[in-house]
Structure 1
């Protein structure tokens, strides 16, 4: 939900000097589908300025504004970040609280009063969910899962399923290894739709504070995901992998079991990571190799 705000209110928020123009802004719009009296942002695209209806556009510092336009341009070092911060500051998301009648809650659960649990959600036994967290429609939370405060579990996600853990008996027949561990999500973790986070075998699968997991991701048993790590869509993380704080994992990448990814690492699109990755490194390819010396 947007609230109206003045141009100089925006400039004050961005720690920029005030302007003489007194513009009232009534929302936000894409630079490709702008609307009157809105705030938009751009990099250095080539645009037909006759089609741009936004009143104010956040742009890069080296952008050369067109002549003969009434648009107010705000040059900043990082336009996307400035726009995103403005969107968060001036746009209020509706807080939802409550438990849908169609949700199924197991025994001996500890659920904070201001949690939201959506339609057809299934919560297992002995689950703990912290203040302000949201479990959206048709998600499944397995037994003994611990979810911190301000977490978001999107629709269709499964937290706490058994991992793919098997051993063969004396006749070569595979049998299931019981998974006795569970999943721990610290505060402010977000899990995308149709993502699966498997429970640990003996220890816990753990996602540390602020970790963000995209849609259609598989996090295997005993994985440790560091603080504020970003794992995008279609990623497969095999068992017992450790991903460091503030790492960024591109779509479609895969990780061999048991490896370690250092903090502040970047894993490229579709990479097959079969060896440990040092902190602050950037790797890509199949198999993944460091790209810093290329």
Structure 2
């Protein structure tokens, strides 16, 4: 696919600075661009690449000053990252269009009606009394248990497993290998210390506009609901235990693990490998840094880091002290030797 700078500018409501007829046929990071590449710059710290880049067309924020000449044609936009995302969506719709029809073999149980505009891939299994919305995409080898509800325009990629009684909203995207509604990790020891399974009879509710990355697992509630509120984005390999509640527009990055009955507020970001103990609450607008361990509730919005977590300023002060520990140890040992010499005298 090849487009001129002028065509690209029209698509993203931008202004061309340079040659409007130059063409782009590929996307690239600015530091790796070649002739024909389309790139974007949304931060002034990347402006220095413009002097030497081989890119043909660059989307750039309107408020970023360019002080040195560049061979690339610029397209000024309000938000270069969003403009690039819009273009990528247009291309994705062409190279990976929505599918239609029912491939064989697949299985649809009694009491379930598959709408005509649904795509049902080969070897998919649809259980009893499943309700499927309009324009749903169910890729090969998916399993949909009994009484599941799937909203309009939702996509389940290859091998997604949805256990019984789960509710999934509209405009959701579940990537390959996602498991929703598996049993929560509930066991009770008897007097002899033998563990016995506690039945998990609750369900999972996923609201609208949620995206869930590959091989993430979301356990059903022991009683009541495990719930993911609207517009939340979950990365690959995330574990969400029984009875958790995740707020609106929250982000869980790869390998985050939430123990049972944890509540995460709205507009939070839990970065990679954050672990959260059970029965805790994290308030709205909290960011937790990578590999942090949350052992108690976070009741104040802000940025947290460390294990156990500390507010970011305390963490940085402690980290600075940690760097000085070898020097401090040497000083203490020197003072100790000096005191011993004085005492001998």
Q: TM-score range by the shorter chain?
A: 0.7 to 0.9
Q: What are the Cα deviations for residues 185-217 of structure 1, in whole angstroms up to 9, with x where unaligned?
A: 001111111110000000110000011111011
**Other-structure match for 2:249:** 228
CA distance in 1, matches of 2:40, 2:308: 38
After superposition, residues 39-54 of structure 1 pair within 5 angstroms as: 39-42=38-41, 43=43, 44-45=45-46, 47=49, 49-50=51-52, 52-54=54-56
**Other-structure match for 2:103:** none
CA distance in 1, matches of 2:212, 2:289: 21
User: Which deviates further from its counterpart, 69-78 or 241-250?
Assistant: 69-78
SS in 1 for 2:304: strand
> Structure 1: 5+ residue runs without aligned partners?
none
**Other-structure match for 1:56:** 58
SS in 2 for 1:95: coil
Establish whether residue 117 from structure 1 lines up as the match of residue 138 from structure 2: yes
Instruction: Go from structure 1 to structure 2 and tell me whether the alpha carbon gap of 1:289 and 1:137 turns closer, same or farther (over 3 Å shift).
Output: same
Q: How much has 1:56 moved relative to structure 2?
A: 2.6
Instruction: Go from structure 1 to structure 2 and tell me whether the alpha carbon gap of 1:100 and 1:12 turns closer, same or farther (over 3 Å shift).
Output: closer
CA distance in 1, matches of 2:39, 2:16: 18
**Other-structure match for 2:85:** 84
SS in 1 for 2:196: strand
CA distance in 1, matches of 2:2, 2:188: 58
SS in 2 for 1:83: helix
SS in 2 for 1:32: helix
Instruction: Go from structure 1 to structure 2 and tell me whether the alpha carbon gap of 1:209 and 1:105 turns closer, same or farther (over 3 Å shift).
Output: same
**Other-structure match for 1:95:** 98
**Other-structure match for 1:72:** 73
Instruction: Go from structure 1 to structure 2 and tell me whether the alpha carbon gap of 1:24 and 1:73 turns closer, same or farther (over 3 Å shift).
Output: closer
232, 237, 243: which one pairs with 1:216? 237
> Which structure features the higher share of helix residues?
2
SS in 2 for 1:206: strand
Instruction: Go from structure 1 to structure 2 and tell me whether the alpha carbon gap of 1:128 and 1:289 turns closer, same or farther (over 3 Å shift).
Output: same
SS in 2 for 1:233: coil
Q: How much has 1:74 moved relative to structure 2?
A: 4.9
Q: How much has 1:128 moved relative to structure 2?
A: 0.7
137, 141, 154: which one pairs with 2:162? 141
SS in 2 for 1:10: helix
Are the counterparts in 2 of residues 63 and 75 from structure 1 also a CA contact under 8 Å?
no
SS in 1 for 2:205: strand
Instruction: Go from structure 1 to structure 2 and tell me whether the alpha carbon gap of 1:174 and 1:278 turns closer, same or farther (over 3 Å shift).
Output: same
**Other-structure match for 2:336:** none
CA distance in 2, matches of 1:115, 1:196: 21
Q: How much has 1:95 moved relative to structure 2?
A: 2.4
Q: How much has 1:25 moved relative to structure 2?
A: 4.6
SS in 2 for 1:194: coil
CA distance in 1, matches of 2:88, 2:156: 24
Instruction: Go from structure 1 to structure 2 and tell me whether the alpha carbon gap of 1:12 and 1:136 turns closer, same or farther (over 3 Å shift).
Output: closer
**Other-structure match for 1:32:** 31
Q: How much has 1:243 moved relative to structure 2?
A: 0.6
**Other-structure match for 1:22:** 20
Are the counterparts in 2 of residues 103 and 122 from structure 1 also a CA contact under 8 Å?
yes
**Other-structure match for 1:181:** 202
RMSD of aligned residue pairs (Cα, Å): 2.7
Are the counterparts in 2 of residues 34 and 40 from structure 1 also a CA contact under 8 Å?
yes
CA distance in 2, matches of 1:11, 1:264: 36
SS in 1 for 2:180: strand
CA distance in 1, matches of 2:85, 2:133: 30
